Structure 1
Amino acid sequence: MIQLKVVYKENESIIEFGTENILIGKSNDAEIQIKGWLISQKHAMIKKLPAGYVIEDLDRGANGTYVNDSKVDIYGPLLEGDCIKIGKYKFTILETNEPFHHSNEQSEEFQNNIRDTQSFDNKEKSIQEEEPVVLTNVNKPIETNLTLFRDTKLELEKDMKLMKELHKKLVETMDLERNDISNMSDNELFETASTCLNKIIDNDLTINRTNIERIKKLVLNEAIGLGPLEQFLSDKSVSEIMVNSASEIYVEKRGKIFLSGAVFSSDQAVLDIIERIVSPIGRRIDESSPMVDARLKDGSRVNAVIPPLALKGPTITIRKFPEKRLTVQDLVDMNSLSADMAEFLESCVLHKRNVIISGGTGSGKTTLLNVLSNFIPNGERIITIEDAAELKLDHDHLISLESRPENAEGKGSVTIRDLVKNSLRMRPDRIVVGECRGAESLDMLQAMNTGHEGSLTTLHANTPRDALSRLETLILMAGMQLPLQAIREQIVSAIDIIVQQTRFACGTRKITHITEVTGIEGNTIQLQDIFKYNKSGYNDDGVIQGTFRSTETIPSFYQELIDSGSEINTDYFNL
C-alpha cells in the first residue's frame, strides 16, 4: 500500500492505493487523473517492485517528472517524505508500508535506472500551464475547485440506480394520487413531491439509508426542478453551465471552465428538464425541431439540442443572467473600460449615434448592450427585438418583442427580420436589436438611415474591420442583389461607432477598441480608433495587463455637436 498527499494550489487531499501499478496523466484510465497543457495522457507510472515502489516517467519529453526537485526517468524506492512534481501538481509520499531505505546495498541494476537531471526550480519557471480542469481519483475523494467527487465509481453507480428507482416511483405515486400540479405554486409542488417521496422511502425497507438525504434532494431537484443544475444556478460565482451529456456537466467559474462532477440519472431526465424549461414560454423541442433557444425565469439564456443532432445525448447550455444588473460604473470597477470611455459612450448614446457592439461568443456584448441602452433618456419610445428576451431596461416607454420559431406544421415563424420591419410602423425613437445574424441586418441599416438614429445592436466579429466585413455578408444574405459599393455606402451612412468587446484567455472581458466610421474612399470604408486597449502582458496569476488610452483623435461628429450648442467634454482627447 502507498499513501500520497496531493496538492495543487489551495486543493489538498490524501489518497492511497493497494494496486501494483498507478497511472498518472490525462487519460480516463488513469488512477490519478490530472489536467493541463503540459500533462501527457500517460505521464508517469508508480510501480511496485521487489525493492519497493518506484516512479517511472512515461512522458519522455521536455515536461518530465521530478522527484525531490530533480528530473528523473526512473526513481526509487520511494520513501516517506519524497516529493514528486508533475507540472504544478505535487505528490508527497506519506506511507509506503515498505521497510526499505536508500543505501549502498540497493541492487546495481536498480541504481542504474535512476536518472537525475536539471533542477526542478529552473524548469518550473519555464512551464506555463492551463488551469487544470479536474483532478479526480476513484479510490479516495479529492477536493477540486468546484466539487467533491464520489469515493468509488461503483458507489456512484449504486446511487444513480437508486435515484432512477425513486424518481420513477415518485412520478407514479403522484399520478396515482391525481395531484393537479398545473395549478400548484412552486412551494406547493415541492411540499407535495417531498411528502410523496418520504412515504416511498418509509414504506420500502430495502432502500439503503446511506446518504439518503442527499439522494432525496437530487431526486426532488430532478423531478420538479432542474436536477443537478440547481446547485450551479444558485452559485453566484458560476456564469455558464454546459451539459454535454447526462454524465458530463461543465461549468464556467470566474472565467475558467471546470468539469463539475455532477450528473443526471439518465438522458430522459435531461430531456424532461429541457421540456420543463421551454414549455412555459411557448417553445417546443422534439425530433422534428431538435434545437431550441429559451430563457429561465431570471432571464438566463438557454440553448438545448437533442438527438438525433446531439450524438452524446441531450445537451443544455445556460448563460446565467446576473442577479445584480450591471451599471457602467460596475464595468469601470471591473476594469472592462476606463471612466473616459464610459463617458464617451454615454455621450454617443445621448446624442443619437448609431452604435454596433462587436465581439466573440461570451465576450459580454449583451451585457454592454444592456448598459448602453440604459443611457437612452427615459422619455423616448424604445423597441427591443430579440430571439430570447434578455435585455432589462429601466424605461417607462418600452416595448419588448421576441421572435417565434415555426410550429409543428412548419408554419407560424416570426423572425427577427419580420419584427424589425414591423417595428418601423410602431413609431420608435430607438430600435435595439439583441443581435444581427442574418438578413435583418439590411432592415436595421435602413432603419438607421431613415430617421431612427441612436439605434443599437450587436454583431459577432473579432475586430472593428471584421465587423464591417461580416455586416456586408449578412446584408448579402437578404437576397436583394445589391452591388457591394451600394452596401458599403449604406453602412457608412448608417453606422457611427463600433465598440469592440474581447474576452481574453484569462477570462477577463474588456473593450479593446472604440472606433468611428468616418467615410468611404474608393472601395474602402475608412475607420479611426478613438480609444484603444494596449496590452502589456500577463501578471503572475495569468491575468491580462494593459492600459486604456485615447488616440487623441477627436470624433468627426463632435464638431456637429459643438456647432449645435451641445456641451461636449473633449478633455480625454488632449493627453
Structure 2
Amino acid sequence: MFGRRVTEASAAAEPVAPASILDASTDAAPGPSSSSGEKTFAASFKRIRDRLFARINVSAAILRGREQLADELRAAIVEIAAAERTIMTVAEYDRIVALILDEMFGLGPVEPLLADASVTDILINGPQHIYVERRGLLELTNISFRDNEHLTNVAQRIAASVGRRVDETSPTVDARLADGSRVNIVLPPLALDGTCISIRKFAKHRIGISTMVQHGNLSPGMGRLLEIAARCRLNIIVSGGTGSGKTTLLNALSRMIDPGERIITIEDAAELRLQQPHVVRLETRPPNIERSGEINQRDLVKNALRMRPDRIILGEIRGAEAFDVLQAMNTGHDGSMTTLHANTPRDALVRLENMVISANAGLPMQAIRSQIVSAVHLIIQISRMRDGVRRVQQISEVIGIEGEVIILQDLFNFAFEETHDGRIIGNFVSTGLRPRFVVQARYYGLEEELKQAMS
C-alpha cells in the first residue's frame, strides 16, 4: 500500500503501490554488526528507525491502522537489519516494532506508562526528565525522548487529535486523549527547558464510596454520611489541592444520585463518569486560531439552566461561573455538586467569595455571603498527604452567618500523627454534633441512618 515517501499534505491524494511499506528503489547499505546491551540496542534502534522512516510513506502508513501495519513493519525491520548485518533476538525485533508503532500512533516512549495501571500521572519536563506518580508519590523514570523536536512532535500530534493547535504563537493547550486522560502542554519559549507535558490518566475502574473506605481514604461513618448527603440533595463542594482526588470523590458521590433525575455536567475537560441513564455532558471550547469562538463554563452554566436540569455538576469552579452556580443552587437545583482548589473549608468559602466578586464587583459582601450560606450545605476537604495517601481531612457543614462571618460546623475530622519512617497514623473522628441537614434526612427517611453515621 505504500510507495515512495510523500509529504503529509499530499499523502491522501497520491496513489501508492499495494506491496510493501518499503520503497523498493532504495538500496540497503551495510552497517555495524550485532547489538549487545541497552546502549547498543538504542544505537541500532536509531539507525533502523531512521532508515525505515526515510523509506516509508508515514502518512499513508498511519491510515492502515496499528494492527494491520505491525506485520509489514516487522518485515521491513528484518530486511533493514539484515542489510546492516545487525543480529537481534525475536524479543528485540518485537520491541522495535512496538516502539515504532508507539511513535506513529501513540505518545512514543511514554506509551507504556499509559498502559501501566499503577501510574496515575505522567509529568514530562523536557525530553530527558519524565516523572510518574505511583501510590501518591513521584518518581523519576529512565525513559526519555530523543530530543526536544521529538517531544514537540508528540505534543503537536496530541493537540491535532482533538482539533487544537500548539506552536510558538499558541504555546499552551489543554487536551484530552482518546481514553479520556487529561493533558496539558506548554511549549518553548514559555517552557525554558523544553516542551512540558502533564498527563492526568483516566481511571479505568470506577471508584465508589465503599472502595474509598476500603483504601483508608475515609471512615465507614464518613462514607455513610456522604452517601446520605448526596441522596438528600445537599449542595456539596469538594475542596482540595491539585491531585488530591477531588474529581474521584465527586464521581463517587454522584453514584448516589437517583437514576430518575436529569443531570447536566459541565467541565473544561470531561472526566466525570456518571452511571445514571439521563446525563447531558457539556464541555467548554477554547478560542480558535483567530481568538474567537470561545465557550467558557459561565456560558454553559447559563445555558444549562434552560435545559430543565434536576442537578448541575460542575467539574471545577475557577472564576466568574461561581456566581451563576450559586444562583442555580438557590433557584431549585438542589443536589448540585462542584470542586474547587483550597486548603481548608474556610479557605474554600473565601475563594468562592473572591470569584463571585471578580464577576460582580458591585455586589455588597454581605449579599454574597448570604447567598453562599443559602446555597452551599456541605464542604468536603480532601488532601494528598505526605505518605501519598489521599484522605478526607474534614467534612464541614455551612450552618448560618453571624455579622460578617459564615459559621461552619465540623462533622468529621482526621486526627493524625506522623511516624519517623514517613508513615501517617491517625483516626477519622466524628464530632458527634447534630447535622443541620437532619431535617432533609428525615424527609428522605434517612434520619436514623444519619444518626448512626455520626455515632
TM-score, normalising length from structure 2? 0.86
Q: What corresponds to 1:170 in structure 2? A: 52
Q: Does 1:403 align with 2:403?
A: no
* 1:280 Cα offset (Å): 2.6
* 1:189 Cα offset (Å): 3.9
Q: What is the distance in 1 between the residues matched to 2:164 and 2:73? A: 26
In 2, are the aligned partners of 1:163 and 1:219 still within 8 Å (CA)? no
Listed one character per residue, the Cα deviations across residues 78-136 of structure 1 (whole Å, up to 9, x for unaligned) are: xxxxxxxxxxxxxxxxxxxxxxxxxxxxxxxxxxxxxxxxxxxxxxxxxxxxxxxxxxx
**Residues 574, 301 of structure 1: alpha-carbon distance in 2 compared, 3 angstrom cutoff:** closer
Aligned mate of 1:469, from 338, 350, 356: 350
Q: What secondary structure is seen at the aligned counterpart in 2 of 1:488?
A: helix
Listed one character per residue, the Cα deviations across residues 385-422 of structure 1 (whole Å, up to 9, x for unaligned) are: 11111111111101111111111111111111111111
Q: What corresponds to 1:566 in structure 2? A: 445
**Between structures 1 and 2, the one with greater strand share:** 1
In 1, are the aligned partners of 2:240 and 2:340 still within 8 Å (CA)? yes
Q: Which moved more, 1:312-321 or 1:325-334?
A: 312-321
Q: Does 1:346 align with 2:227?
A: yes
* 1:534 Cα offset (Å): 1.1
Matched AA of 1:227? G
Listed one character per residue, the Cα deviations across residues 468-526 of structure 1 (whole Å, up to 9, x for unaligned) are: 01111111221443222111111111100000001101100000111000111111000
Matched AA of 1:386? E
Q: What secondary structure is seen at the aligned counterpart in 1 of 2:319?
A: coil
TM-score, normalising length from structure 1? 0.68
Q: What is the distance in 2 between the residues matched to 1:170 and 1:465? A: 59
Gaps of 5+ in 1: 1-150
**Between structures 1 and 2, the one with greater helix share:** 2
State the number of aligned residues.
417
Higher relative CO (Cα under 8 Å, sequence separation at least 6) belongs to 2
In 2, are the aligned partners of 1:194 and 1:220 still within 8 Å (CA)? no
Q: What corresponds to 1:327 in structure 2? A: 208
Q: What is the distance in 1 between the residues matched to 2:70 and 2:336? A: 45
Aligned mate of 2:337, from 450, 456, 468: 456
Q: Which moved more, 1:250-259 or 1:215-224?
A: 215-224
Q: Does 1:185 align with 2:185?
A: no
* 1:350 Cα offset (Å): 1.1
Aligned mate of 1:202, from 58, 61, 82: 82
Q: What is the distance in 2 between the residues matched to 1:560 and 1:237? A: 40
Q: What is the distance in 2 between the residues matched to 1:556 and 1:406? A: 44
Q: What is the distance in 2 between the residues matched to 1:190 and 1:408? A: 36
Q: Does 1:383 align with 2:241?
A: no
Q: What is the distance in 1 between the residues matched to 2:386 and 2:206? A: 25
Q: What corresponds to 2:407 in structure 1? A: 526
* 1:218 Cα offset (Å): 2.8
Q: What is the distance in 2 between the residues matched to 1:316 and 1:388? A: 16
Q: What secondary structure is seen at the aligned counterpart in 1 of 2:121?
A: strand
Matched AA of 2:170? S
Q: Does 1:544 align with 2:424?
A: yes
Q: What secondary structure is seen at the aligned counterpart in 2 of 1:556?
A: coil
How do 1:366-381 and structure 2 match up within 5 A? 366-381=247-262
Q: What is the distance in 2 between the residues matched to 1:418 and 1:195? A: 53
List, as ranges, runs of 4+ consecutive aligned residues in structure 1 with deviation greater than 6 Å: none
How do 1:111-510 and structure 2 match up within 5 A? 156=39, 162-175=44-57, 179=60, 181-182=62-63, 184-205=64-85, 209=88, 212-213=92-93, 214-510=95-391
Gaps of 5+ in 2: 1-35
Q: What is the distance in 2 between the residues matched to 1:472 and 1:437? A: 12
Listed one character per residue, the Cα deviations across residues 46-101 of structure 1 (whole Å, up to 9, x for unaligned) are: xxxxxxxxxxxxxxxxxxxxxxxxxxxxxxxxxxxxxxxxxxxxxxxxxxxxxxxx
Q: What secondary structure is seen at the aligned counterpart in 2 of 1:297?
A: coil
In 1, are the aligned partners of 2:397 and 2:411 still within 8 Å (CA)? yes
* 1:262 Cα offset (Å): 0.7
**Residues 544, 424 of structure 1: alpha-carbon distance in 2 compared, 3 angstrom cutoff:** same
In 2, are the aligned partners of 1:551 and 1:573 still within 8 Å (CA)? no
If you compute each CA radius of gyration, which structure gives the higher value, 1 or 2? Answer: 1
* 1:444 Cα offset (Å): 0.8
Q: What secondary structure is seen at the aligned counterpart in 2 of 1:179?
A: helix
* 1:574 Cα offset (Å): 6.3
Q: What is the distance in 1 between the residues matched to 2:346 and 2:185? A: 32
Q: What is the distance in 2 between the residues matched to 1:505 and 1:224? A: 37
Q: What is the distance in 1 between the residues matched to 2:153 and 2:445? A: 57
Q: What secondary structure is seen at the aligned counterpart in 2 of 1:346?
A: helix
Matched AA of 1:556? R
